[in-house]
């Protein structure tokens, strides 16, 4: 069996992060490390965390390979893993389309789906337009 054995300093830092972090991924990873530190089996850890055994192995290997503060920095999701925007390539065209349809989004949604094969909901389109000042 493979367990993570934490130092007292690491354990207290992980407990604090687990309680105070606003990021659910960080909280989940902290919990898995703390759970493994209590010598729970691989199956139990995976079942409680809702992850695959292989994911757990990769995560633990990464944790063990890091030193000092680097261990805590990798707990958050790496940059560039967020959702890619479907509407970003059409930003210039959207500006013209919004003006053409007098800010009525219903025909704009239909046009995006038929001509550009991009299906988004109205609230997503509104948020995108607001974010880009269109």
Alpha-carbon gap, residue 27 to 126, rounded angstroms: 31
Alpha-carbon gap, residue 113 to 110, rounded angstroms: 5
pLDDT at 101 over 70: yes
**pLDDT at position 124, please?**
86
pLDDT at 27 over 90: yes
Provide mean pLDDT across the span 91-99: 86
pLDDT in tens, 59-92: 899 999 988 888 888 888 877 666 667 888 888 8
Read off the pTM.
0.61
**pLDDT at position 8, please?**
92
Q: Where are the beta strands (DSSP E) in 12-73?
A: none
Higher pLDDT: 1 or 3? It is 3
Mean pLDDT of all residues belonging to the chain: 87
Alpha-carbon gap, residue 26 to 34, rounded angstroms: 12
User: What torsion do the CA atoms of 60, 32, 54, 77 make, to the nearest 10 degrees?
Assistant: -80
């Amino acid at each position: 069996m493979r367990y993570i054995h934490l130092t007292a300093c690491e354990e207290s830092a992980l407990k604090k992060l687990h309680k105070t972090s606003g990021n659910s991924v960080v909280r989940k990873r902290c919990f898995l490390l703390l759970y493994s530190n209590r010598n729970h089996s691989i199956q139990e850890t995976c079942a409680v965390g809702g992850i695959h055994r292989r994911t757990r192995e990769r995560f633990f290997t990464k944790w063990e390979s890091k030193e000092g503060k680097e261990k805590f920095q990798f707990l958050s999701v790496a940059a560039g893993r967020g959702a890619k925007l479907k509407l970003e390539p059409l930003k210039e065209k959207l500006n013209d389309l919004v003006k053409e349809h007098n800010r009525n989004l219903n025909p704009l949604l239909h046009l995006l789906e038929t001509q550009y094969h991009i299906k988004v909901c109205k609230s997503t389109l509104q948020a995108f337009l607001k974010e880009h000042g269109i």
